[in-house]
Structure 1
Amino acid sequence: MGFDSEQWISELLARLDEAFGDRILYVGHTGSYARGEATEESDIDVNIVLDALTMEDLERYRQIVRSMPHREKACGFVCGADEMRAWPAHELFQFTQGCIVLRGSLDHLVSAPTDRDIEDNVRNLTSSIYHQCCHAYLFEDGLDDAAEGLKDAYRATFFVMQELVFLRDREYVPTKRELLDRLQGEDRAVLEVCTRWNELKEDRRDRPEHYFSLLREWSSRALKSVRTV
């Protein structure tokens, strides 16, 4: 029998309700399972906001996770209301756009990020991708192994392009499949690497320089495409 993510989430919600009750202000489901793009390797990302978060609460949640079937699937975010209110606005795009709301609401805690907030996040993400790419190329022993280490950097390009397309088209595009239809040229080539990562393994072994070059050039252009003042 295959893994049933909806049943897993329902079980988690029941245990959260029992443990925290009306202290739960928000629960959201995000990530590849929420988008319908999960693979066998995918986590289930659940974001939780409580009225306040103590170490005792963390321990209680930890025990819930450890008691869940397929606990290796559990992933996500947890904080208290005050932390959520203070959270950097540029990191809130996926919270406000990319989550399936399961409990409560964030409306009384945060505002939707502004265009400037989104641009700040694009700049933060692309600068990190650029650095990862150059650092791995320079300091890893073998380029073929180093190219395998670019998986997370290529994965992050999806979130950058979601935000760039939102700024351009004023529409949130939730899935990689739909986003590919909005992209051309280098943008599309980079996202295709992200979506086809596993099947491109042999090609990365044969020509690792291509994957470094593509990512470095894309991240450089994306970084310079957003406002800095």
Structure 2
Amino acid sequence: MIEIKSWTENFIRALEETFEERIWFAGLQGSRGRGEETEGSDIDLVVILDKLTPADVRIYEGMLDRLPERELVCGFLSGKEELLRWEPSDLFQFYYDTRPIVGSLDGLLERIDDEAVRRAIKIGVCNIYHGCVHNMLYDRQEEILKGLYKSASFVVQAICFRQTGKYTKKQRDLLDIAGKEEQNIVETFLALKEGGQADFEEMSDRLLLWAQGWINRL
């Protein structure tokens, strides 16, 4: 099992040696950032430089290739100005799901207003609706269905945030505050995540109707 604190310290040393004072922000997202990782979980990194060039992308790739557990590394690399001008609805999840290591993302908060959160929910359920119908018609893959339920759990985070004004980082904690339909979505996601059996037809129907309901509500 990776000791993520030690790994990220090694990563930050390599990052500072590579980009020096050009680093505006570095952080950790996903299950490792939330403390919910399993042995094979991705190491989901966020790195924001003062600016980003194609050469920087290649340099960063070479730096990652020299680190242990390279096959698990993924994440987001950007220039500062691009991030500050990013679509606000994307910034909601990005900000709240990122654990800072170097620097701060607080400058994004002024762009994450109620309308940005509403749009995050609307775009999320529209994508889930489309993905669910496509999977039911063409792919019929349980892995895709699991991925759609994972995406839906993130939408539930946004719904609960909009209703309460508080961000709930761990999906399991959503069960204490979400409405009944959203609880059902999160419970299904957690069961699938833990290896539970997928009932493709029933779970697809339920997810489609849930997404449909939110599309028509917003």
TM-score range (shorter-chain normalised) is over 0.9
Deviations, residues 45-75 of structure 1 (Å, cap 9, x unaligned): 1111101111111111101111111111211
Contact 2:136–2:204 (8 Å) recurs in 1: yes
SS of corresponding position for 1:111: helix
Amino acid at match of 2:136: Y
Q: Which of 175, 182, 190 does residue 177 from structure 2 map onto?
A: 182
5+ residue gaps, structure 2, are none
Distance (Å, rounded) in 2 between the aligned partners of 1:167 and 1:135? 29
Contact 2:52–2:79 (8 Å) recurs in 1: yes
Contact 1:25–1:51 (8 Å) recurs in 2: yes
SS of corresponding position for 2:76: strand
C-alpha distance 153-3 of structure 1, shift in aligned 2 (>3 A)? same
Amino acid at match of 1:116: E
Q: Report the equivalent of 2:217.
A: 225
SS of corresponding position for 1:17: helix
Contact 1:130–1:216 (8 Å) recurs in 2: yes
- Deviating beyond 6 angstroms after TM superposition, the runs of 4 or more aligned structure 1 residues are none
> Over the residues paired in the alignment, what is the CA RMSD in angstroms?
1.7
Counterparts in 2 of 1:99-138, with a 5 A limit?
Answer: 99-108=98-107, 111-138=110-137
Counterparts in 2 of 1:45-194, with a 5 A limit?
Answer: 45-108=44-107, 111-140=110-139, 143=140, 146-194=141-189
Amino acid at match of 1:22: E
Contact 1:126–1:223 (8 Å) recurs in 2: yes
TM-score when normalising by structure 2 = 0.93
Contact 1:50–1:80 (8 Å) recurs in 2: yes
Distance (Å, rounded) in 2 between the aligned partners of 1:123 and 1:5? 34
C-alpha distance 169-107 of structure 1, shift in aligned 2 (>3 A)? closer
Deviations, residues 178-222 of structure 1 (Å, cap 9, x unaligned): 112212422111111211214455x32xx3211111110111122
TM-score when normalising by structure 1 = 0.89
Amino acid at match of 1:28: G
Identity of aligned residues (%): 31
Contact 1:81–1:109 (8 Å) recurs in 2: no
SS of corresponding position for 1:53: coil
Task: Figure out how many residues of one structure are paired with residues of the other and give that number.
Answer: 218
Q: Does 1:197 align with 2:188?
A: no
